[in-house]
Chain A
Amino acid sequence: MLVASVVGPGIPVDGGSGGRAEDAGFDVRDCAGEVVARVDECSPGDVDSLVRAVTAAAARWRSRPAHSRVRAMLDWAAALDGERGRLAELLAAEAGALRSEAELEVDRAVDWIRYYSGLVGKVDGRVFGGIPGQFGYTAREPYDVVAGVNAAVGALALFAGQASLSLASGSGYLFKAHAEAPLAPLMMAELAQAAGVEPVAAVAGSTQVGEYVSTHTGVGLLAFTGRSPVGREVIAGSVKEVTPLVMGLGARNAALVLDDAALSTVVPAVLHSRFSRAGQEWFGVAHVYVHESLFEDFVARAVALADRIKVGPASDPDSLMGPLLSRQRRQLLETALAAGVADGARVLAGGRPPADLPDGAYFAPTVVVDASPTNPLRRDEVVGPVLTVSSFGDVDQVVAQANASQSGAVMQVWGRDVRTLKSVSDRLEAGAIWINTADGLSPEVPIGSWKSSGYGTTGGVSSLDYFTRTKAIMWDLTPLSDRAPSLAKLAHATKVGGAANA
């Protein structure tokens, strides 16, 4: 049976695909390459209808009383919470998530929706201070439809963050699911519909469907997370409709371990940051700079820990790291690692698929040293469980070295001395600085990247700025009869001041 590729307002639960031949559609495979489900094809016409439907649903959403919208969003969050078991199964099958990882992803999604439900009806504008004779104010208005095109791993949290921001702003939201991992997001959209969150929709399909959605004339704002080369194409595609963008691009996140850091805490935290979701999360750390006084100890502990991390499927409750999304991704990782080794890097742990799991997309947790700053492993966006480690002596130099990168998403800093931590975090050029934690994500706090890692934020009240468009309304309250028009020959009376009719 085909899984419907379009979920949205007014669309029947089976997507109307009943009766369509099985050989239509595309396969969703698990990490070993086995088919998990077949998803129906999505046509441009389907997208057109969906955008229209979401636009209409958003207009109805805006006219509902605030408490009713809040209730619907909370019901959606509760439904996700309640269905965590089924969602975890889907995430395990299509995205290789371990049970605990899937639960965390669902928890994050629930938190996002609950947080932004509280801002419904609170998106306010500003009244301008005294401009003589004028009354001016801003209204922060929604877009008809916000579209999200996101990475495959962590999709539910990205979906929830972007959707709930859109809903709080009064916009509709359309999630374009990654072709390799659409099932859990599609279910998430179904749960939204069932909860009465009408203007949330999802569509699954190929890259072409993604392009069609992201350049659709009915889409007012596009949120994108993914690798930089794809992101650049998305920016180029935005010229079609002059679409504003919120971009989260590939990053080479790093951790700085200062000389007074406690390795017993730091090593498990940093390794988990790298190996969680098999190194496929955008906020995971890729490289660690360790103070030279701790370097040997850090590397020894990291190698010992990496070797103890059991790799396996979600079905094995002892698994501590799951597979990559696909064999292709493993192939890319192996190629990247080989290039790194050819350039002088040394693999101290892992570096190959686990001996007991040669098939599928499993890869051992890998620790690498001696990768110079120009080594491909440190220069490129490497997706997978490979952690590079280097040592430093001088804090100022390592800050400068970290800042030389065009990447600017997340920097972790580990240490105890307050002055050093403050000085380092002040100087680091990244949108998110996490001190003594490998997971600083929470919906109350804006998260966004600097430099070539993107722009725009989600999280916190201030991110509403990115998900609304400002209309300024300026009333001139002086009577027309009192005004001197600027064309002197047409003047009636004497001049009155005010805002510049320049």
Chain B
Amino acid sequence: MLDQMHRVEAVGAAETYVSHGDYLALENPATGKVFAEAREADEGLVDQVVSGAQNTFRRQWRGTSPLDRARLLVRWADVLMEHQDELARIESTDVGHLYRESAADVANAAKWLRYFAGVADKIEGDAVDAHPDRVAHVTREPFGVVAGVNSFNGNILMFGIKAAPALAAGNCLVLKAPELAPLSSFRMAELAIDAGIPRGVVSVITGRGQVTGNALLRHPAVGMAIFTGGLGAAKAVIRSSAVNAIPLCLELGGKNAVILLDDVDVDRVVPHLLHSNFVKCGQSCAAGSRIFVPRPLADELTGRLAAAASRLRPGDPFSPDSDMGAVISETQVARIEDLVNRGTAAGATRLAGGHRAHGRPDVEHGHFFEPTVLADLMDSNVAAREEIFGPVVGVLTYDDVDEVVSRANGLDLGLSAQIWGNDSSTIHYVARRLEAGTVWVNTYRAIHPSSPYGGYKHSGYGRENGPEVLKTYTRGKTTVWAYGDIPNPYAQLSGAS
């Protein structure tokens, strides 16, 4: 736990910043206590930080060799791991994740930095030699300053996922950390400087979307933006992007289908289905929150889910006995509660949980929700349509494969999906037809720096990860060298001058 009141301003090219935005109070969701505050970056501070990043790019970072960028990314990864415990403590205090969840995020962030360090000097272009009188080259160049906006539920990892390719490609990144929980991002940026990354290459500010996000996305020095968050905020981001016509990558929400095939191992699959929905209290865009089970297996599955879920306890994020941490805020808990109540009012059966956690000292003052299982969901039930972003498992039954594919695709969301079973023909058949950016087979939440991640439909567009993401973080310049005589209709007109 952080012992003293913590205050953060901005991390960027300058050593200190003077600005006039409000301080936002930061609450520890496990205790309900305000323990820190963060400056909301107003337009003036955003301008200072972004301009600083642009200067750093022009004066220093642009001239840094790919190999040196790679070395710095690796060094940053090392420094993060040297501070893994500290970062995990900050994050778990600020967000309420279990300590082990935050610690895993640090390890993964380091993994991303190392992966992209390895490709910093492998950004290749194309040459096209199709015509006898010309040759064309496509080269990839950094934008200069790119903007990143994160949601609160994966700060450390999402920062790594954005910073690694951004820096490998030669950009400077300005990150808007979520105003609900920005501290780990600020600390990571400080550690980047400790690792030797020049000031201004990695900058962090925070504030509300309508203040800080708007100013950042509209700043003329920002060449492109990657946004992770909800649909409502994404719409504001798209509108802001129109000001300077900047390209976007949008990673939005999901109401992810989990399709259990009729040969699934019901017993063994249960812990994975639950963890998919209870990790970080279900505050994950990848939560497999719509579990489609074949009708003959429904009773057995829901029984096992409920029995297992009721053995799990949310509690102090720092206790190894806790199975879940805290939900980010009272507002969010109220929303989860409301959706569960509306779900049961619409006909779902509550088999486990369904209410705020209480009755134990470590959950008394914070925002905790019991692990919840809802069965007998219909497609029309709000609990089966809206992303709850809470520890709620939803179970629906189905009768045949084409039906379940159609129902899985029946929402406007399409981020990910899971298929559990053994028949590879059926698995391929289903995977091909699911409208989702990632399909996990016999696993969940399996992300890797090599695997492109992003959504279909209202879950967004663009992909993070994979060597191809370096194209997202660069712009292609096509140079056509003509070396023949290219006639035009005016050539015969111009005689001697």
Contact = CB atoms under 8 A, between A and B. Distances in A.
B436 A471 contact: yes
B130 A442 contact: yes
Interface in A406-432: 406, 421, 425, 430-432
A447 B126 CA distance: 13
A475 B442 contact: yes
A131 interface: yes
B494 interface: yes
Contact of B477 (A126, A249, A431, A486): A431
B450 interface: yes
A244 to B, nearest CB: 4
A374 interface: no
A305 B475 CA distance: 37
B138 A247 contact: no
B448 interface: yes
B258 to A, nearest CB: 14
Contacts of A489: 311-312, 323
A355 interface: no
A268 B487 CA distance: 9
Contacts, number: 276
A461 to B, nearest CB: 8
Interface in B419-468: 431-432, 434, 436-448, 450-454, 456-463, 466, 468
Contacts of B269: 480
A445 B128 contact: yes
A242 B457 contact: yes
A453 B454 CA distance: 26
A287 to B, nearest CB: 18
A268 B323 CA distance: 75
A488 B480 CA distance: 60
B157 interface: yes
A51 to B, nearest CB: 15
B442 A476 contact: yes
Interface in A288-322: 297, 300-301, 304-305, 308-309, 320
A247 B486 contact: no
Given A244-B461, A433-B478, A480-B269, A320 B439 contact: no
Contacts of B231: 242
Given A309-B490, A445-B138, A485-B272, A472 B453 contact: yes
Interface SS majority for chain B: mixed
Nearest to B136: A445
A447 B438 CA distance: 29
Nearest to B235: A239
B247 A498 contact: no
Nearest to B458: A242
Contacts of A432: 477-478, 480
A445 B131 CA distance: 11
Contacts of B445: 500-502
Contact of B447 (A249, A476, A500): A500
B239 interface: yes
Interface stretch (A21-29, A198-206, A228-236, A331-339): A228-236
A500 B242 contact: no
Contacts of A264: 494
Contacts of A131: 448, 450
A114 to B, nearest CB: 12
Nearest to B439: A473
B271 A474 contact: no
B278 A487 contact: yes
A363 interface: no
Contact of A446 (B478, B485, B489, B497): B478
Contact of B497 (A241, A304, A460, A481): A304
Nearest to A133: B443
A235 B218 CA distance: 14
B482 interface: yes
A68 interface: no
A485 B323 CA distance: 12
Interface in A228-271: 228, 231-233, 235-236, 238-239, 241-244, 247, 249, 263-265, 267-269, 271
A162 B359 CA distance: 62
Contact of A435 (B252, B482, B497): B482
B363 to A, nearest CB: 17
A452 B245 contact: yes
A379 interface: no
B490 A305 contact: yes
Contacts of A425: 479
Contacts of B443: 134, 474-476, 498-499, 501
B241 interface: yes
A455 B451 contact: no
Interface residues of B, number: 94
Chain B CB within 10 Å, residue with most, of A232, A249, A442, A474: A474
B477 A433 contact: yes
Interface in B323-372: 323
Interface in B211-240: 220, 223-224, 231, 234-235, 238-239
A500 B486 CA distance: 56
A100 B489 contact: yes
A472 B108 contact: no
B486 A437 contact: yes
A436 B245 CA distance: 29
A235 B494 contact: no
Contacts of B271: 485-487, 490-492
Given A301-B494, A309-B493, A490-B271, A448 B265 contact: no
Contact of A460 (B128, B131, B431, B439): B128
A264 B493 CA distance: 11
A304 B275 CA distance: 78
Given A435-B480, A490-B271, A231 B245 contact: yes
B185 to A, nearest CB: 17
Contacts of B444: 501
A444 B244 contact: no
Contact of B126 (A249, A462, A490): A462
B242 A498 contact: no
B134 interface: yes
Nearest to A243: B461
Given A472-B438, A480-B268, A444 B128 contact: yes
Nearest to A98: B489
A471 B126 CA distance: 24
B491 interface: yes
Contacts of B220: 406
B447 A437 contact: no
B411 interface: no
Interface in B242-284: 242-247, 250, 252, 265, 268-272, 274-275, 278-279
A96 interface: no
Given A304-B497, A471-B438, A502-B101, 17 more contacts: A131-B450, A138-B451, A138-B466, A239-B234, A242-B460, A272-B488, A301-B494, A308-B493, A320-B489, A440-B134, A440-B482, A450-B477, A455-B475, A474-B443, A480-B272, A485-B275, A488-B323
27 contacts: A128-B450, A131-B448, A242-B252, A242-B460, A243-B461, A267-B494, A320-B493, A431-B478, A433-B477, A433-B480, A438-B486, A446-B476, A452-B244, A459-B478, A469-B461, A471-B439, A474-B438, A474-B441, A474-B443, A480-B265, A480-B269, A480-B272, A485-B275, A486-B279, A498-B443, A500-B448, A502-B101
Interface of A: 100, 126, 128-129, 131, 134, 136, 138-139, 228, 231-233, 235-236, 238-239, 241-244, 247, 249, 263-265, 267-269, 271-272, 275, 297, 300-301, 304-305, 308-309, 320, 406, 421, 425, 430-440, 442, 444-448, 450-457, 459-462, 465, 469-477, 480-481, 483, 485-492, 498-502
In the A-B complex, the 8 residue pairs with the closest CB atoms: A485-B271, A440-B480, A476-B443, A437-B482, A235-B242, A455-B247, A499-B446, A490-B271
